[in-house]
Amino acid sequence: MINKKDRNKIRKARHERIRNKISGTADRPRMNVYRSLNNIYVQFIDDVAGNTLCSASTMDAELKGKLAEATKSEAAKMVGELAAKRASAKGISEVVFDRGGYLYTGRVAQVAEGARAAGLKF
């Protein structure tokens, strides 16, 4: 019998290892990235209080019109820029980047690049 690896199970285990080492505070929240098949989501989380400070995704009305002709990578970069703008409006300038167990390549790297381009430090 052929056993196929459960990639999401492996990702979740990797994410748990990462989460044991990093944590977000009110001064320096955790920038969490979640990647689904069609969308990408970013949240800024204060782990001390257990609050989500702000978020952005490809589902936002601000981006819907721009994403019609964009690729997934381009959309991820736009989400990173929008997330950084929303974070700076809340007074957040530095974050701890949490890639959610995903490899730092493709759409996850584009989110980080877009956030850095908009002035976020991590």
- Residue 1: which pLDDT band, with cuts at 50, 70 and 90? confident
CATH number for the domain that contains residue 100: 3.30.420.100
Return the number of other C-beta atoms located less than 10 Å from residue 30's C-beta: 20
Could you tell me if residue 11 is inside a domain? yes
Could you tell me if residue 2 is inside a domain? no
Q: Which of 27-41, 62-76, 78-92, 102-116 has the lowest mean pLDDT?
A: 62-76
Report yes or no: 98 and 21 within 8 Å, Cβ to Cβ. no
Residue with tokens 């703008």: 85
Q: What is the mean pLDDT of residues 62-75?
A: 92
Query: Which residues form the domain of 71?
Result: 7-117
Structurally, the chain folds into a number of domains equal to 1
Specify the pLDDT at position 68: 87
- Residue 64: which pLDDT band, with cuts at 50, 70 and 90? confident
Q: What is the mean pLDDT of residues 6-11?
A: 94
Could you tell me if residue 1 is inside a domain? no
Specify the pLDDT at position 6: 92
User: Structure pTM?
Assistant: 0.91
Q: What is the mean pLDDT of residues 3-27?
A: 94
Could you tell me if residue 122 is inside a domain? no
pLDDT > 90? residue 65? no
Could you tell me if residue 29 is inside a domain? yes
Please tell me the number of Cα atoms within 13 Å of 102 on its side-chain side: 21
